[in-house]
Each structure stands twice: as C-alpha cells, then as structure tokens.
Structure 1
Amino acid sequence: MTRDYSQFFSTSTSSQSGTENPSKLARLGWQTFFARQVEPQALNQTPPVRVSEVHRNGLRVVGEDIEGLIPARPDATVGDWFLYDADLPAHSVLLERKSLFKRRAPGHDRRFQLIAANVDTAFIVTSCNADFNIARLERYVALAFDADVTPVIVLTKTDLCDDPDTYVQEAMSVSGRVVVVALNALSREPLEKLVDWCRPGQTVAFMGSSGVGKSTLVNALFEEGRVATAGIREDDAKGRHTTTARQLHFTPDGVAVLDTPGMRELQMADAEDGIADLFADVTDLATQCKFRDCAHDSEPGCAVTAAIAAGELDQARLERWRKLMAEDRFNSASLAERRSKDKNFGKMVRSVMKDKKNRR
C-alpha cells in the first residue's frame, strides 16, 4: 500500500499545538524541519522512523506502522530520525538533526559520546537537598545552550524541604534566560507546571544526577508507573541508579519523553558557544576590558575585576567560568588530536592496501 505523506510537508503547526488530533508520526516528534529534507516520493520507499532505544546489537526504531532494528552505528543516538530501508536496514539514511546533546566520553577515551538528538526542551533536574550543586547545574545548562535546546531547571522534593525558596533563588542565578520550576514530583504538580513545554509533537528530556526524581517525573507525565524508581540514601542524599539506558517514551497525546541515566561525569568539549551563552554576563564584561587578551586578574582597565570590586559579579562565578573554559579548551584540543590521529591512520591503511593491490 502506498501511503500519502503530503500532510507531513505542511508548514502548519496545528497538530503540534493540540488543536487537531496529531498523526502517529507527529506524536513521535516528526516536524517540518525533517520533512523539508526529503522529497515526498522518497518517503514511500524509505519512510521516516525514529530511534527510540540504543542497544549494542542495534538501534530500535519506530514509525508509522513500523517497528524495526537498524544495525548499530557510532554516529547515531536516541531521538535521531532515519529514512528506513526495510530491505537493507544498514543503508537507512540519517537525517540532519535539529539539536544534539554530546559530551566527551567518560574515562580516558578521547572521543565524543552522543547523548540524545532532536530534543526541544531539557528539564535539568535537581533536588532541594544536599544533591543541589550550582556548578553542576551550570554544566547542564551550558550543554543545553550549546545543543540549541531550551533548558528548564526543575527543583524536586520541595515537600521534604523547609525552605525551597532558597534553592529557587540560587538556581535562578545560573542564567537569566533559564526558567526555574519547583515542585513535588509525587503530586500532580509536574502535569500542571511542566505543561507549557509538554505539547504534542515536542520532545523533552529529563537530565540530572541519580535519585533526584527524573524517573518519577516521567511517570507523572504518563500518570502511571512507566519506569522504575528508587529513593536516595538518607545519609548523604546520593541517588541510586534506576534508569540504565536512554530511551524515548511516547505519551498518548504525542509528547516524546526521554529519561536519561544520571551522569557522574559531564566533561565539556567543543561547547564554547554554550558556555558563552551561560556566562553572558562575564563575556559581555570581558569585551569592555582595556586589553583584548586580558586575563581578568590584575590588569589595568579590566571590566571584570571592576565588576567584582563593585559587587556586580560574584568571584565564585568567575572562577567557575574559568574552570569550564579551561576544561573545554583542553578537551577540544584532545579530541581534535584524536581525530587527526584517526584520519592519519586511515590514510596509512588506505595507502598500504593500495600498495598491496598494485603489487598484484
């Protein structure tokens, strides 16, 4: 049967605003951005599918009346869209992404790790207890800014905190561009307070440490026990891992929800733009310094140190900016070196194979 995919090329957003019943593809997150990359007739031969899970043996994909498996590949991640080749799944075409979360891989491996693609909103979750860490929140927000994703800071466990407003005020200091929402994840507050970002056709991701309530929030959006949950250790407020893999869940009304494992290590790399957006106050001041290469230490005419002296900028915030910038430069250089070595090794292999072929 030949399907009519013309509806997916309309620039109308009515299906995403909830005024009409969204199609199956729209409920999976298919948007005009992706449709514009494809000729209508091509969709009949290779229909669009979305990666819902990543496993060692392949990528689990779902589409309009399609559930399949594409062989694992390092350049794809959960949330990606493919044009699915049913006869040769390995030949399925990866579409250009609307957004991409990535980080330097944990440990000593100097590679990028893809976290998630085509996310519209990132709910950066922390709790009103000892888990709260302003520097960690800044890392997640910088990552979201760099990925072209809207970050929203979500503070949980307000019911267990005597003064949640203190945490709210501190979280608001991260960036004037980021909304902060405080709620009790075990109540109906997630449905009420997160609704503005959870519209049909949107993809949202819950990110943060283990045990802060990410999976509980996912279950709240579904109003059922969709994913496993566990509490925190009472002695140090550290979380227990319950989510072990990144997986997209789809609500009945068409919201794609990504629950991610807690990331113990979040190293920045090639994220200079995101860091600049996060610390816009610092970067704006830096442009006003007398010297272009000002280190913002003891140089004359430094607008940054002047702002600190005037109480307009916090010294601790400046130090966190320096740390992230230094980390990003180091990791970016390391990754560039790895890419260069891989490229040179590939050239050497091709040269050796060519010589062998010529000798024959």
Structure 2
Amino acid sequence: MTVAKPFESLAALGWNDFFEAHYQQFTKDPTTSGQQPARIIGEERGLFSLAVARDTFLGSVAGRLRYFSGERLDLPAVGDWVLCSRADHSARAIIHSILPRQTCITRKQAGNGIEDQILAANVDRALIVTSANAEFNLARLQRYLTAVRDSGVAVEIVLSKVDLYPDYPALLDQVKAAVPNVVVTGVSAVSRVGLEEFQRRLIPGHTFVVLGSSGVGKSTLLNCLMGQKIMATSEISDFEDKGRHTTSARHLFALSTGVLVIDTPGLREFRLGGFEQGLHETYEDIVALSAKCKFSDCSHQNEPGCAVKESIESGLLAETRWSWYVKLQKEVDYQKRKESGDQAGNSKARWKKIHKLAKQISKRKKWEF
C-alpha cells in the first residue's frame, strides 16, 4: 500500500470544531495519553493509511478495538478520524478508537447478509457518477440517492462521458426530471465539456466522495481533477460500450485547490438498508401526494380519493417513478424488519464478549494478589 504526500495541517485534512470538541472529551480519559488524532486516507486488506499534519504512515487496528467491535460499523473506514499511537521510529501505528462520525454513507453488504458496509465517513457531499452510455440507469440512481440522503450528506449527480451521446442535453433533462431538486452536471474528460463549471462547486476544505457503478468513469474524472494520472483507468469495450472496473480500494486525495476527494471501487450491487428517511427525501413529491389522500392508511390501490392514483392517471406523476418508489419501499421495509429481528442477537453477542473479558480481568487480579 502506498502512502500519500503529507498534509500541511489537520484543517487541511478536514478537521473542524465538531471533531475538536469530541477529541477534547477523549483527552479527559487518562488511558488516551500519548494518542494523537489522525485521518484514515486509505484502506486495503485490513491495513490503513493515516495522515496527520506533515506526516503520513501506516496503521492497524488494536486488538481491543477489533475484539469489542460488534459489527463492521465499529471499525475504521476511509474518512474516519481516529486516535492512534506510534512508538518512536516505528513505521506503523496502532489505532485505538474512532472519533464520532459527522456523517457516514453505508449500504448493505453484497449477497444476503444484514451487515452494513461503510462507503465513506465524514463527507460533506457525495458525487454520484453515471455515464452517458450503456451504463446509464435511472433506477440505479434512485438507490444511490436514497442511501446518500439517509446519511444526511448533500448530493450531486455527474453524468460522465457525454461526448459519447450525440444529444446529451436531452439526456441531462431526462436525469433532472427523474431526480428533482438535485444538481445534475454533464462532463467529459475527452472534450472537457462541463469540467470548469463542475470544479467551481468543489469547496476547499470540504470532503467529497465519488460513488458509482463499475466503469462509469470515476477514476478518469478524479485524474482530470488532480491534473495527473493517479488512478488506473480502462478503455471502453467496443463490444459492450462499457468501461471496465479499475479501482479496487478506497483512498482520500487532496486536490491542489485544497478540496478532499474520496475515490471508491465500482459498486456492482447496491442493497439498501432501512433507509426510510432517505427514501422519503428522494421521493418527497410522492410523500406529499400521499398526505392528500382521503384515507390516512391509503394503500394507493383501489381506495377512493387517492391523490397518488389521480396524479398518475392525469400524468402529473410518471408511472415509472411510482414503480421505482414502490420497489424501494418494499426493500426498505424488508430490511427494517430483518434488522429489528437481528438487533437483539447482535447486542447479546456484544455483551457476552464484555462479560467474558470482565471474568478474565477478575481472575488475573486474584493471581496478582
């Protein structure tokens, strides 16, 4: 794993009053003596790249932190601020704890598991990238939007590779209609269309995360922003009109303007959690219509006075948008039921670990006397 160039200060890494306040609380605990705050800027196979002011180094999770982690959310991720210690002249640090996260974007792990996977922590804005070729998928965008909005992170959609689509302004209008109240920008790394406008919205000192499926041009976009090739890219397959997956790990980079960007691997599957709040924000138009129905428990099927059905029939609400909402609502409801059923078991397993360690400590103290 390579380590990035040093940052000038903690502020250049995204440190703010939120993290300072929590750090001061941690320092009141004498067991944290000798531990310093650092930001996770890279992760690969259980090893982390960390950055502090004017220094970067590698680190691994302390055994105690790993032992008491009930789930993946309890372990560090790219973007996290952690407390770590490093012996003199040691090339590797030990990560002892994670400072509370200001924001955290997650998805359900691939397959049928219930565990959450962290995509990025402590980000200010998510850049959802989709491309103007065979990868273009409006339904997939709804999934990304739901997850990001549930995390409380601001969001923007970037339509890449617009040079491949003859009438890309029409495609932009199509995206804007499908995701109302979201900034949508079309860009091309080849023709440089839209890049200047896009870069003007990137705020120095803020952390952005680039999300999207494999081959939509995330790495190419990051290379353009950096002004140099730092991420490997692949050519588009003429046979499938798709880009190939290139990024395999998460990294945080700093642009020359002071903007922080987290690059993520392409997501081939995006399962939602119980993201009810995010779903309601993504489909706030449908939520508003539901409030106008004659019956508060309207199922929007055959009830009289259903504002949703009336809007679909009159053409005010696209039937496609309604079907997207219904599908995601079912998935969110299913995950909420699944999570509530497993939550008790997870809590029980964690307390079992705590009680086991307490017994070990008690036995050790007896032998010490």
- Which range, TM-score by smaller chain? 0.7 to 0.9
1:330 maps to 2:315 = no
- What's the CA shift for 1:188? 4.0
Select 2:9's aligned residue among 24, 42, 50.
24
Alignment of 1:259 with 2:263, yes or no, is yes
Change (3 A) 1:130 1:188: closer
The correspondence of residues 298-317 of structure 1 with structure 2, limited to 5 A, is: 298-317=302-321
Contact 2:42 2:78 in 1 (8 A): yes
Of 59-68 and 207-216, more deviation after overlay is shown by: 59-68
Matching residue's letter, 1:83: L
**5+ long unaligned stretches in structure 1:** 1-21
Q: How does 1:279-294 map to 2 (within 5 A)?
A: 279-294=283-298
Q: Distance in 1 between matches of 2:42 and 2:356?
A: 38
Mapped to 1, the partners of 2:146 and 2:112 lie a distance apart of 22
Q: 1:45 to 1:197 in 2, by over 3 A?
A: farther
For the 8 Å contact 1:186–1:216, the answer to whether it is kept is: no
Q: Are 2:186 and 1:167 aligned?
A: no
C-alpha deviation, 1:79, in angstroms: 0.4
- Per-residue CA deviation, residues 154-194 of structure 1 (Å, 9 max, x unaligned), is 11111121110221011102332211101112344464122
> Structure 1 residues 130, 52: closer, same or farther in 2, change over 3 A?
same
Task: Give 1:237 shift.
Answer: 2.5
Structure 1 residue 148, shift from structure 2 partner:
1.4
Q: CA deviation at 1:77?
A: 0.9
CA distance in 2, matches of 1:130, 1:114: 27
Q: CA deviation at 1:338?
A: 2.7
- C-alpha distance in 2 between matches for 1:258 and 1:351: 38
Match for 1:201: what amino acid?
Answer: G
Q: State the TM-score, normalized to the length of structure 1.
A: 0.85
Aligned residue number for residue 57 of structure 1: 46
Normalised by the length of structure 2, the TM-score is: 0.83
Of residues 223, 246, 249, the one that matches 1:245 is 249
Alignment partner, residue 10 of structure 1: none
Query: Which stretch has the larger CA shift, 231-240 or 76-85?
Result: 231-240
Cα separation, 1, equivalents of 2:256 and 2:33? 26
Q: Distance in 1 between matches of 2:359 and 2:99?
A: 36
Q: Which residue of 2 is the match for residue 38 of structure 1?
A: 23
**SS class of match (2:123):** coil
Q: Could you list the runs of 5+ residues in structure 2 that have no partner in the other structure? A: 1-6, 67-71
Q: Is the 8 A contact 1:31 1:201 kept in 2?
A: no
Separation in 1, partners of 2:356, 2:124: 46
**Residue range with higher mean Cα deviation, 81-90 or 225-234:** 81-90
Q: Report how many aligned residue pairs link the two structures.
A: 338
**Equivalent in the alignment of 2:119:** 115
Aligned to 1:98: 102
Q: Measure how far apart 1:347 and its partner are.
A: 5.1
* Superposed displacement of residue 304, structure 1: 0.5
SS in 2 for 1:38: helix
Q: 1:96 to 1:174 in 2, by over 3 A?
A: farther
What value does the CA root-mean-square deviation take over the aligned residues?
2.8
Aligned to 1:7: none
Distance in 2 (alpha carbons) for counterparts of 1:231 and 1:128: 15
Instruction: Determine the structure 2 residue equivalent to 1:9.
Output: none
Aligned to 1:3: none
CA offset digits 1:128-164 (Å, max 9, x no partner): 1221111111111111111111111111111121110
Would the alpha carbon gap of residues 61 and 312 (structure 1) be closer, same or farther in structure 2, given more than 3 Å must change?
Answer: same
Q: Which moved more, 1:145-154 or 1:219-228?
A: 145-154
Counterparts in 2 of 1:352 and 1:52: CA distance versus 1, 3 Å: closer
Q: What is the CA–CA distance in structure 2 between the aligned matches of 1:355 and 1:127, rounded to whole Å?
A: 56
1:214 is displaced (CA, Å) by: 0.5
Residues of 2 paired with 1:147 and 1:245: CA distance? Answer: 22
Contact kept in structure 1, 2:205 and 2:260, CA below 8 Å: yes
**Contact 1:49–1:62 (8 Å) recurs in 2:** yes
- Inter-CA distance 350–95: structure 2 relative to 1 (3 Å threshold): closer
Structure 1's 190 and 37: CA in aligned 2 closer, same or farther, altered over 3 A? farther
1:151 to 155, 171, 176: 155
Letter in 2 for 1:26: A
Equivalent residues of 2:185, 2:194 under 8 A apart: no
Inter-partner Cα distance in structure 2 for 1:148 and 1:346: 28
1:193 corresponds to 2:197: yes
